[in-house]
Amino acid sequence: MDKLRKHIEEITPVSDQEFEYIKTFFSEKKVRKHQYLLQDGDMVTCEYWIAKGIFRAFYLDKEGKEYIVQFALENWWLSDYNAFFGQVPSNMNIVCMEEAEVYCLTLLSREKLASEMHKMEHFFRMKLTKGYSAQQRRICSLLSGSPKQRYEEFAKMYPGIVSKVPKKYIAEYLGVSRETLSRLYSGGNLQT
């Protein structure tokens, strides 16, 4: 749990005592490759903080095609926030892609923690702020960029992901076909 504390203290310091209390809101969970953390249609009880591992969050259209909404690595928060905050059934799936360990926080715990400790409310707000910004950049990139630009931008931003997950998922994240993505850096003038 030390890593979680460090993560929180990137935003706001907490005393030993405070952290002891914060800890009680989380529960630990180990997840193996291919295991679902969340499935289509489930109620979303928790959000997850990833201590270790890689996940992808995607949803399926009627034809069963996958679209990746988010990757998540160590130190990231992850859930279907639409469903989590709105307390409606999820339409997303979250799957483990690499042996993982996560801490779970229910919505109730989250809100309790936020209301009892101003600094945790602040922490969550700052995290949300950063996420909001990142999403806005992604929207810009989806709207304007050619597949090539999108890929380059993504590769620059998240080199760790590019090297660790199969290309086809990157393609799904970028909104291009696997083949097109492949042609981008083989035929194309792109350094891996």
From the list 105, 91, 30, 89, the residue with the least C-alpha distance to 57 is 91
In angstroms, the CA 125 to CA 120 distance is 8
Among 13, 86, 89, 188, binds a second copy (CB under 8 A): 86
CA distance 102 to 36: 13
Give how far the C-alpha of residue 50 lies from the chain's centroid of Cα atoms, to the nearest Å.
9
Residue 158's nearest CA partner among 18, 56, 23, 51 is 56
Find which of DNA, a second copy, none residue 164 binds, CB within 5 to 8 Å per kind.
none
Q: Quick one: what does residue 156 bind among DNA, a second copy, none, with the CB cut-off 5 to 8 Å set by partner type?
A: none
Of 21-29, 47-55, 58-66, 155-163: span binding a second copy (CB under 8 A): 58-66
**Looking at the chain, how many residues does it have?**
192
* Residue 2 CB, nearest approach to a second copy (Å): 26
- Hey, which residues between 130 and 159 contact DNA (CB under 7 A)? 146-148
What is the contact surface with a second copy in residues (CB under 8 A)?
A: 59, 61, 65, 67-69, 81-82, 85-86, 114-115, 118, 121-122, 124-125, 128-133, 135-140, 142-144, 172, 175
